[in-house]
Structure 1
Amino acid sequence: MRRGGVVGGLVLVVVALLAVVAPWVTDPAGLDVTRVDGPRLGAPSGEYWLGTDENGRSVLLLTWWGARVSLLVGVAAAVLSVGIGTLVGLVAAMAGGWVSAVLMRLTDFFLVLPSLVLAIALSTVLERGVGTIVLAIGLTSWPGAARLVRAQTLAVAARPYVERAHALGGGTVHVVVRHVLPGVVPLVVVNTTLAVGTAIVAESTLAFLGLGDPTAVSWGAMLRTASSTGAVTAGAWWYLVPPGLAIAGVVLAVTVCGRALETVLDPRLREPR
């Protein structure tokens, strides 16, 4: 598992670096449909390694630049989602009483509703843009994290050293910061890592449905454009395969990396030697 995690981590580092350096090592003019002269849906060749799209743009360049939006949305939405879930879970576990009951009923309400449907509704109502996609995904996918954090917080709060801290006069804020959070943070880190893959898939789905940023290049938007411009009927597999493989590869790398990180942070999951 750890070897797979290392490989997954290396894949993510490479993809992230390529996304960051894209504006400096590639020509953004290649994304402008008015400034390209490649063949329409041209097959892979020496000039265009992954072929061209319906406007003559390089599919390799589109896939490269698509990583920027997909990774940005995935990380930002995951951080927002887990952040909200962590806050709700901590407050519900430490406050108890009616506060916990209200927060858990609110969590249950969002948990039974399809998060994708809620994200579609928010994306439809709000102005189109990357920020809207981040909000739509983050505000609809936090309930699972809230329940996990609440359960972990209750387990940590019941440990003897936390009870001793209370007995010695430690306030709630002191106990949470010094004793509870160190036991909860590993779960939050792992959950955030795994949530990145879910957010990338959600962003690709929203973009494929036409609810993403119309001015941004993303893997989901590429799949939508390929589907709507006849790439499938024309047999232009080179337009569909790269963004699809990019989504699958990055999500797989995130998942493997997250699982490996979980075994490192939780000794109970380590395989006996």
Structure 2
Amino acid sequence: MSTPVDPNSEKRHQTEPVIDESPPIIALSARRLARRRRGEALRRFARDYARNRAGIFGLASLLTIGLLALTAPLFIDQAHLTITGAPGESYQPPSWQYPLGTDNFGRSVLDLVIWGARVSLTVGLLATFVSVTLGTLVGVTAGHFGSSGGLGGRIVSTVLMRITDWFLVLPTLVLAVALAAVLPRGTGTIIIAIGLTVWPPTARLVRAQTLAVEARPYVERARALGGGHAHVMGWHVLPNVMPVVLAQTTLLVATSIIAESTLAFLGMGDPTTISWGGILEAARTAGAISAGIWWYMIPPGLAIAVVALSFTLCGRAVESVINPRLRGQS
């Protein structure tokens, strides 16, 4: 016997909704995917950096010194840092009360060194920011227009690099002293003087990296699709040169701190501001060198050396992580 066929079954199958039991596909937006990739890159960078023992030592030293500098107002009385408010006697040797002794005014040398870290680190970081910003701007502009700007772009690139070469051959210290002598004395003058004299190496390094990035296919594709100079430099070139800029920044901070100490030692800084170079200049003026007051001279000099070495170790570690050829070297 044949089974009767319901004439409405075909219509019912056509009107009933079809339920898809396959697993849903999660479509990631481009912005979310970019955030995920940046997060993975940062985690990979931190993991590779943690393998560099020298870099970890430098980072730990910088964090310790930075923490002391930030919290200095909590345990140091600013009145004791003045000439008239010093609680101790002049030139007291190191003791339990004064671990690093006192200066010619009776101030604690340990308090002076800790407080001086605030100015020295601030000047070093701000001067490095000025230098890196100027060097990156000049390097990216010269590299981009030199490779894809036509005749006018090549002229702009040549002029920028000749200016860079002119600053590069000038003695950095002499130029910084000249600028500090012409401008009004103060911490801002020291920052400007250092920032305007140590940027040429950054400019040449960024220009070389920019030329390498400009030759990549995706930059040529963006240019062929109508991307202008600002679009190519801002969205394609600059993000790819930032790792090199980061490594150069960590190396330049040490140079800036040493330059600040040198200018302050030469008397170009603000005499009312306590910095490591200012402490050394005050010790030289007071005759501590000839009198053998070693506790007045050695601590600020060691502080400068430790901070410069720590920034250099961090910079080398960052460079070894970024550069595949140096990876694995510690």
Q: TM-score range by the shorter chain?
A: over 0.9
Query: Is 1:142 paired with 2:199?
Result: yes
- Equivalence for 1:164: 221
User: Which amino acid in the other structure matches residue 213 of structure 2?
Assistant: V
Q: Give the 5 Å matches for 1:53-202.
A: 53-96=103-146, 97-202=154-259
Unaligned runs of 5+ in 1: none
Query: Is 1:212 paired with 2:262?
Result: no
Q: Deviations over 1:128-176 (max 9, x none)?
A: 1110000000011111111111111001111122222222332222222
Unaligned runs of 5+ in 2: 1-50, 147-153
Paired residues, what number?
272
Q: Normalized against structure 1, the TM-score is what?
A: 0.96
Segments of 4+ moved more than 4 angstroms? none
**Matches of 1:199 and 1:25 in 2, distance apart?**
28
Q: Normalized against structure 2, the TM-score is what?
A: 0.80
Query: Is 1:48 paired with 2:95?
Result: no
Deviation at residue 12 of structure 1 after TM alignment: 0.6
Q: Is the 8 A contact 1:128 1:214 kept in 2?
A: no
Deviation at residue 265 of structure 1 after TM alignment: 1.9
Q: Deviations over 1:181-219 (max 9, x none)?
A: 121000111111110000000000000000011110011
**Matches of 1:234 and 1:105 in 2, distance apart?**
49
Q: Is the 8 A contact 1:41 1:231 kept in 2?
A: no
Deviation at residue 42 of structure 1 after TM alignment: 0.8
Q: Deviations over 1:5-50 (max 9, x none)?
A: 0110111111111111111221111101111231211100111110
Instruction: Report which structure shows greater RCO (CA 8 Å, sep ≥6).
Output: 1
**Matches of 1:243 and 1:21 in 2, distance apart?**
19
Deviation at residue 52 of structure 1 after TM alignment: 0.2
State the identity %: 60
Q: Is the 8 A contact 1:85 1:145 kept in 2?
A: yes
Report the CA distance shift for 1:22/1:243 in structure 2 as closer, same or farther (over 3 A).
Answer: same
Q: Which residue of 231, 235, 247 corresponds with 2:292?
A: 235
- Equivalence for 1:222: 279
**Secondary structure in 2 aligned to 1:216?**
coil
Deviation at residue 235 of structure 1 after TM alignment: 1.6
**Matches of 2:320 and 2:239 in 1, distance apart?**
17
**Matches of 1:12 and 1:37 in 2, distance apart?**
30
- Equivalence for 2:74: 24
